[in-house]
Structure 1
Amino acid sequence: MTDSVALFATCFNDTMWPDTPKATVQLLERLGVDVRFPERQTCCGQMFTNTGYADEAIPLVRNFVDTFGSYDAIVAPSGSCVGSVREQYETLAHRAGDPGLQRAVTELAPRVHELSEYLVDVLQVTDVGAYFPHRVTYHPTCHSLRMLRVGDRPLRLLRAVEGIDLVELPDAEECCGFGGTFAVKNSEVSVAMGTRKVDNVQSTHAEYVVASDNSCLAQIGGLLGRRGRTSGVGQGPVARPIHLAEVLAGTREDVR
């Protein structure tokens, strides 16, 4: 690979789910990508933008542009954060009244990729040499599905994993109920939506539920965890949440 590629780990992953960005680097390096980690990176600003603090998000837009502007590609294991960069930054740059920032955002945003997009569209691979001998179901997260329109890219990657037993999730495209601050401000609705999601997850008898955003996996995993070791007669063990990157990073050597 000759392109310069940077990992955008995202603050949520860096703080709570560090195994996901580590798996992303492991996977990309296995595919021949020389991955850099710019240490100036921080939050994308989505938490401010989504809660009405647009002005407070603008410095984070500037930092993102300054940090990643020199790279040919920026890869993140988060449809939510990539969606923020590609869908919200233009509005924020316009709000700042800075033509230079607007030009920088317009030029940079198309180079920011969610992991499955980068693998399938840029590297043009679906079989990444992964091995994961488990029963798995996949939850498509709202931002990746509706903002980025990743379509079936994650499923194409999962179907190519050796040893996997991939089962369809009923009503897969329904929201899990997280939605960032939505889960805090509308907790009863959020829990009701999440409960429906985990009921569907458990109906598959999957060992793992996979998604491309750890924010959604936190919601699903939290609700699953409250069910204890089993979720009811005949439903078997509670599924464990795992990020797509961690499934794709697995190899036969890892299970020896």
Structure 2
Amino acid sequence: MPIVDHATRLITCKLVYYGPGRSGKTTNLTYLHSALPSGQVGSLTSLATRRDRTLFFDYLPVDLGTVGAYKVRFQLYTVPGQPYYKAIRQLVLQGADGVAFVADSQRHRWDDNFESLQDMHANLAEHGVDARALPIVLQYNKQDLPPSLAASVAELSAALNFRVVPEYAADALNGVGVFDTLRALGRTVLRRLGAEDGTVAGRRANAALRTPVYAPALDAPTGQGVLTGAGVAA
């Protein structure tokens, strides 16, 4: 559940980017950090070794403007995808308000995507979370590769999207689909807050989310649209 601080009028949501190793999770956060206005993002913390791209997690706080009278902050994390970091994935996933599953579209990573998705469900269950009730978005990264190397969105959707959640083709290295993924996940998380939270913040969030544009926030500089708080202006 997002943390609502009534004293400071701040709603903080934890979003976790999950997926197999080197699928593009860190690349998503790196692109967001470079593309967003400096006043809206904090430092990008990345812990890495020579062997692994992300040893523990990447963390990027993003200020999204306001929902009603409340400011919104997303804390974005990634998890290490390598199998031997299961305990760390469990730790980072704890308390997540939403998950972006970043699948690697390369055909030789097909089994890796399945194993990572199953691992995500198992880790959520360890925390007593029903994955069917948690906001989840699927991103099919590396769609810039030729069909001989990358599975199509239709193929990946049929194999992975059994819950029929929002899904996006992506080339995270160049920013394609990066804002779409964050926008969809953030919007779903805040709508859930508005539906479940009986507090003033929750009611205001729910009311604000019915307004098409209510606070300028994330402007996608590559022309992918504007994420206004949790609302969308195409």
Give the alignment's TM-score, normalised by structure 1. 0.28
Which of the pair is proportionally richer in strand?
Answer: 2
Which of the pair is proportionally richer in helix?
Answer: 1
Give the alignment's TM-score, normalised by structure 2. 0.30
